[in-house]
Structures are given as C-alpha cells and as structure tokens.
C-alpha cells in the first residue's frame, strides 16, 4: 500500500520500500476514505436486490472496502438510491440525506432513480432523485447489473481521489443547511418552488 501512496519525486531508501511513504495530506486523506466507504443499507425497489447481489459472494463489494452497510444514515457516507423514488417516500429520502454527515456522496442506481425509468409518468413517482438531492454518479440500467454498480462505485472512488482538503465543502466556514424536506399536500410540494406555485395559483384566479 505505501507504494500507492508515495509521491514519485521522493526516493525511499532501499530496504524501507513498502513500509515507509512520503506523501501529501490530500493523498493519504483520500486514500483512507476511498477504501472505507460505508454505503447506507437502504433499498427502495427492485434495484436494491441487485445491490444486495453485489454485496453477495459472487460480486463481492468488500473487495473495494465497502462491505459495511449500515441502516442508520448517521454512520454512512454513501447513499445508493436504489430504486423508484415515490412522492410518498421522498420526504423520508431527503430527510435521510440531510441526516448523513459530511463527506457524503450519492449514487443514483438505475433508470428510476436517475430519471423516473419505466414509471416516469406515474402520479406518485418522482422523475429523478436529482430534482431534490445532488447526485455524484449515475448508473444506468433497469436494474443495472452488479458489474455496472461496481463500476459506479469505482467512479465514486475516483471522485474521492480528486478532492482536495483545501476546497471540499465540509471544511468551509459556510455550513450547508440541508435540503428543505418536501411536503405532501394535494400533490408533492418542493418548498424551494413554493413562490412559483403560489404565483400559478394566483394566475388561475385572475383568469377565472
């Protein structure tokens, strides 16, 4: 492992290779994070079954340091949105996302989570989780094969590799307040859009 960490400019004296590494803070910080991603044990629909299959013996997520799946958002740093997000479930999903501590990543697994999939036109379906929470990696498929999911996870690792302590949002002064939890009214209401909605209602009245 130290060889992977070493900055190539520094020569490690013979005999100490493989035990000593000279590296940057960013590198060792990201190296530690990339091999200990804890995904959330959080299944929404059919895609979740393939996610479990990925954790199974044949595909084995553990090879990437990701086998610990925790049901509590407080302990997780990766949310795999595995399946159709319905309007009824969305407030919960957003709440879970808000409860995850930084650094956190979101992987949208499957057609449904990425854009509504086959159920896009349904009255209770959110056509894409990215309308509400920021997504880092999309994995297409219905359901994506375990191989595809593994590839998506590797992309997350790549993303982690390229982050720098200097710029990452969770060390900035300004703290993120989280995403307002949508409300279930006569239909789903995104509070960020609320003024727009009221405008529309007023327009209707004016027309009438």
Give the nearest distance from C-beta 58 to another protein in angstroms: 5
Number of residues that bind ligand SF4 (CB under 6 A): 12
Q: Which residues bind another protein (CB under 8 A)?
A: 41-46, 48-50, 52-53, 55-58, 71, 83-84, 86, 88-89, 92, 96, 118-119, 121-125, 127, 142-143, 145, 183-187, 189-191, 193-194, 196-197, 200-201, 204
User: Quick one: tokens of 103?
Assistant: 């650094």
Give the nearest distance from C-beta 126 to ligand SF4 in angstroms: 12
DSSP 117-152: GGGTT-TTB-S-GGGTS--SEEE-SSSPPHHHHHHH
Residues 25, 165, 69, 99, Cα dihedral to 10°: 150
Give the nearest distance from C-beta 53 to ligand SF4 in angstroms: 12
Q: Both ends of the chain: CA-CA distance in Å?
A: 71
Distance CA 144, CA 47 (A): 7
**DSSP-derived pairing of the beta strands 78-82 and 137-139:** unpaired
Contacted by 150, from another protein, ligand SF4, none: CB < 5 to 8 Å by type: none
110 lies in the binding site for ligand SF4 (CB under 6 A): yes
DSSP 4-63: HH--TTSPPPTT-TTT-----HHHHHHHHHHT---BB--B-SHHHHHHHHHHSTTT-GGG
Residue 138 β-bridge partners: 108
- Binding test (CB under 6 A) with ligand SF4, winner from 6, 30, 54, 84: 84
Residue 139 β-bridge partners: 109
Contacted by 111, from another protein, ligand SF4, none: CB < 5 to 8 Å by type: ligand SF4
- Binding test (CB under 6 A) with ligand SF4, winner from 12, 46, 168, 197: 46
Nearer to ligand SF4 among residue 21 and residue 50 (C-beta): 50
Contacted by 187, from another protein, ligand SF4, none: CB < 5 to 8 Å by type: another protein
Give the nearest distance from C-beta 10 to another protein in angstroms: 43
Judged by the rule CB under 6 A, the positions of this chain that interact with ligand SF4 are: 45-47, 83-84, 110-112, 117-118, 142-143
């Amino acid at each position: 492992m130290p060889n992977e960490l070493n900055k190539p400019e520094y020569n490690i004296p013979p005999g100490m290779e493989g035990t000593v590494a000279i590296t940057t803070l960013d590198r060792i910080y990201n190296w530690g994070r990339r091999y200990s991603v804890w995904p959330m044990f959080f299944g929404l629909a059919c895609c979740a079954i393939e996610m479990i299959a990925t954790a199974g013996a044949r595909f084995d997520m553990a090879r990437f340091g990701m086998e610990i799946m925790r049901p509590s958002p407080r302990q997780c740093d990766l949310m795999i949105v595995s399946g159709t997000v319905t309007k009824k479930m969305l407030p919960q999903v957003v709440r879970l996302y808000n409860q995850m501590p930084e650094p956190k990543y979101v992987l949208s697994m499957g057609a449904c989570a990425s854009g509504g999939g086959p159920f896009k036109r349904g009255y209770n379906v959110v056509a894409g989780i990215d309308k509400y929470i920021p997504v880092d990696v999309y994995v297409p498929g219905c359901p994506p094969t375990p191989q595809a999911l593994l590839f998506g996870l590797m992309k997350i690792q790549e993303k982690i590799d390229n982050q720098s302590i200097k710029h990452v949002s969770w060390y900035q002064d300004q703290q993120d307040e989280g995403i307002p939890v949508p409300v279930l009214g006569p239909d789903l209401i995104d509070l960020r859009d609320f003024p727009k909605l009221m405008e529309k209602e007023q327009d209707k009245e004016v027309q009438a």
